[in-house]
Amino acid sequence: MMIKKTCLWLCVILIGSLRVMRTYGFFVNITYLESAVDIGAVCLDGSPPAYHWNMGSGAGINNWLVHIEGGGWCNNVSTCLARSLTRLGSSKQMMEQVAFSGILHDEPQYNPDFYNWNKIKVRYCDGASFTGDVENVDPETNLHFRGARIFTAVIEDLLAKGMINAENAILSGCSAGGLASILHCDKFKAFFPASTTVKCLADAGYFINSKDLFGKRRLEAFYDDVVNMHGSAKSLPPSCTSKMNNSLCFFPENVVQEIETPLFVTNAAYDSWQIKNAVAPGVVDPHGKWHDCKMDIEQCSSDQIEIIQEFRLEFIRALDGFFGTSSPRGMFINSCYAHCQTEIQETWYMSDSPMLSNKTIAEAVGDWFYDRSAFEEIDCPYPCDKTCHNRIF
């Protein structure tokens, strides 16, 4: 009897979970791009790249949203080898299905402007925001640094499957994928005829060259290793690399001025990834004094809040050059402790989603894309915004 009751409760839980999943998202099968192997466009371990495609319908049949997965970077042989054994370095380790929600949802009540578009999630398996291109492969490690080739191969495959006829197209991404959507924005637009409206959206991809607790620019040193390991320099904007160290061109603040394609940035001013990994990484906090604060911003001391507030000011200063261009720009910079808000239904478009000027991120992006109205908003300092969904780790 006890076994039957346990099974009944498990069934109820499972059915309830599936209902929530269907409401807030749905699963999409993987597509392996086997043909890319012939041109060396492969993941770190040499396996083929992959993506998930939910086909458009109705009025959205000729509209395409290409969204790039995030997942950090690898900066040396050991970290890249470790990564090559995971889904972030090998398509052999990827799940056959992933959940689409938020900007990838296919129902209008959850994604009003893009629900019926073709939506593609490009899997991230190169470790350098799709910028690497090293021809030689060390037989001892079998590591392939070919991210730039993957980007081209995936886009060309989608073009051949109908994207060349797009009326509207967006390149978006989260975190390292958001950075990729900035670095590849103009390149993406160049694939399309002039008649296609092409714009880019970066979610949590605006990484800044901040200082850690000891005053060291840790992310700059890390990016220098990434660029050198992956041979990324040739994929970075020459307008930037001709003026400064190649690694500095991984920071959006140094490249956005030259991007000609319309660009929208959504980011938390208190970006949880950057605060955890660039401002107060474990290496500068050996006694774990920042542990609770990094896990939950409400647990931060007044001194820690002061440092985090300075990060916000530094982040805002890094946006100074964002509007120094003729292409239409937009931004949604809220004062939440978060990282990636467009892929998550609760932060993209729900009744209690984060808002600025009475608009959700979905409404702000939609208005900007369709030229209904401009949106350029920076939130007041923490803790003023009561609509935030602050991350608790």
The residue from 175, 181, 235, 247 that is catalytic is 175
How far apart, in whole angstroms, are the C-alpha atoms of residue 38 and residue 234? 21
Partners of residue 333 on adjacent β-strands: 267, 378
Q: Residue 380 gets which letter from DSSP? A: P
Beta-sheet pairing, 63-68 with 376-378: unpaired
Residue 175 among the catalytic residues? yes
Q: Are 129 and 177 in contact (CB under 8 A)?
A: yes
Tell me the Ramachandran region of residue 275: left when phi exceeds 0, alpha when psi lies from -120 to 50, beta otherwise. alpha
CA gap 187, 237 in Å, rounded: 10
Strands 263-271 and 197-203, sheet pairing: parallel
Quote the tokens at residue 74.
């690898």
The residue whose two tokens read 């073709």 is 118
For this structure, is 389 an active site residue?
A: no
Q: Are 289 and 226 in contact (CB under 8 A)?
A: no
Annotated catalytic, 52? no
β-bridge partners, 266: 203, 332
Contacts of 303 by beta carbon, 8 Å cutoff, 6+ apart: none
Report yes or no: 350 and 296 within 8 Å, Cβ to Cβ: no
Strand, coil or helix: what is 349? coil
Q: Which of 247, 271, 335, 353 is catalytic?
A: 271
Tokens of 214: 């000891």
Q: Would you state the structure tokens that stand for residue 197, as one six-digit string?
A: 């409206």
With H, G, I as helix, E, B as strand and everything else as coil, classify residue 359.
Answer: strand
Name the residue type at position 137. Answer: V
- Out of 339, 353, 379, 389, pick the active-site residue: 339
Point out the residues that are catalytic. Answer: 175, 271, 339
